[in-house]
Amino acid sequence: MFNNLNELKEIFRSKVIIFILSRYIGYFMLFINALFIARNLGVYFFGIYNFILLIIQYLNYANLGISYSLNYYLSVESSPNKKNNAIQESLTLNLLISLIVIILFVLLYIFDFKFNNLNISKFYIPIALIAIIQLFIQIYISICRTYGITKPIIFNQLVIPALQLPGFFFAKTKTCCIIY
């Protein structure tokens, strides 16, 4: 199959293979984290934790496909000036969406809105901030993906799982654990 060891080394140095391996290493780390978090939080707090993650995941759709559109546009457009304009417009739209998300969560916090008797109002601001950061990360990743820059994408795939578990162990209470 492989004539020599150098061919095998060359395959594992490929950006695509490194990208794929990092993605699945990140998934594995998330799975291990979920097992530890579920065991230590218990059923009730693990449910709240997952509900908060669900809200954050839904807020990822708040960008209305801007990052995907940007990814497509940057890959088919040849003019650097038009590419820069598209990036600036995407960032501007993300700023507007971020402002709407902040206003929404501030209102939820002020009116102490409860989801099905879950009092998670103390998490509204962190949820909004995490969602906003993720909106901008998606734009950044689209830019990196278009230009073939894989290191920031790999870093993004691995940093959250790598920091999540130690952050969980250093938390003083279950409420702090949910924020991590």
* pLDDT score for 117: 74
Q: How buried is residue 138: exposed, middle or buried, by Cβ count under 10 Å (0-12/13-18/19+)?
A: buried
Containing 174, the helix (H) or strand (E) segment is helix 174-179
The predicted pLDDT at position 175 comes to 55
3-state helix, strand, coil in the chain (%, to 5): 85, 0, 15
pLDDT of residue 180: 45
How buried is 5 (Cβ within 10 angstroms: 0-12 exposed, 13-18 middle, 19+ buried)? Answer: exposed
Burial 35-71 (b: 16+ CB within 10 A, else e): eebeeebeeebbebbbbbeebbeebeebbeebbebbb
Q: What is the pLDDT of residue 89?
A: 93
**Whole-number Å distance between alpha carbons of 30 and 50:** 13
| Residue entry with tokens 């830019």 | 143
Total domains, the chain: 1
Q: Which residues make beta-bridge pairs with 115?
A: 118
Reported as half-sphere exposure (CB side, CA atoms, 13 A), residue 31 has a value of: 6
Q: What angle do CA 166, 170, 172 make, to 5 degrees?
A: 145
pLDDT tens, the chain, 180 aa long: 556 777 767 766 777 788 888 889 989 988 888 888 888 888 888 888 888 888 888 888 887 888 889 888 988 888 889 999 999 999 999 999 999 999 998 888 888 777 777 778 888 888 899 889 989 998 998 898 888 888 888 888 888 888 877 776 666 555 555 544
pTM higher than 0.85: no
Residue 103 lies in domain = 5-179
What b/e string do you get for 106-134 counting C-beta neighbours within 10 Å, with b at 16 or more?
eebeeeeeeeeeeebbebbeebbebbbeb
